[in-house]
Amino acid sequence: MSTNSTGSSTATDPSTRRSKWLSGPAALAYAVAVAGAIVAAVASPLGDVAVRSWLEEPACPGDACDDKNPKTEGCAGAESGTFIPPDNPADLRIRYSEDCHAVWGTAKRGHKGDMVTVKVTGGAERSAVIAYHYDVFTRMIKVPDGDFSVQACVIPKPGGASTFKGYCIDADQDTTWS
């Protein structure tokens, strides 16, 4: 209800009101912007990885994952387990993807120049150095079905900003992967 200039009340039909900001050209511009953002997100490399991880199996199960990036191959998603030991100043982790049959190492609280290594007993070894920010992950190493043993180490850069001493952690197929 509203009051007109003579003081009497008149009913206003809410369906006749139109939102000025979402009408005509504004609505079209909004729709085009939303559609463009969705297309850009899916077409980008990150969007490609996200879509692949939701819709498909990993791109590289088994031997094909060896020495590849776990994020771009769809191995770093929900199917992965992480081993995080206590008393861990650099937040060193061993990641394992059962679907990809691969492991890799990560450090989440290092400094530029610190290095992470991961080695599968009887298999390959990979390393990665923190180039910027505070974290890094190695490329994957394939692991066999069944028994495997893996060791990850973090080594601070000599004279660098990290104050912890280098250390290693170990895991195997029986580790509780969370």
pLDDT tens per residue across span 6-28: 555 555 555 555 555 556 666 66
- 116: tokens are 């992470």
- Give me the pLDDT at residue 174, please: 93
Is a pLDDT exceeding 60 seen at residue 137? yes
Supply the DSSP symbol for 65: G
- Give me the pLDDT at residue 14, please: 53
Phi, psi of 48 (to 5 degrees): -60, -45
Residues 93 and 83: beta-carbon distance below 8 Å:
yes
**Mean pLDDT, residues 132-152:** 94
Quote the pTM value. Answer: 0.68
Cα separations (Å) of 6 from 3, 10, 12, 14, 173?
8, 11, 16, 22, 85
The single residue listed with the structure tokens 């939701």 is 54
Question: For 2-86, where are the alpha helices, taking DSSP H only?
Answer: 25-43, 45-55
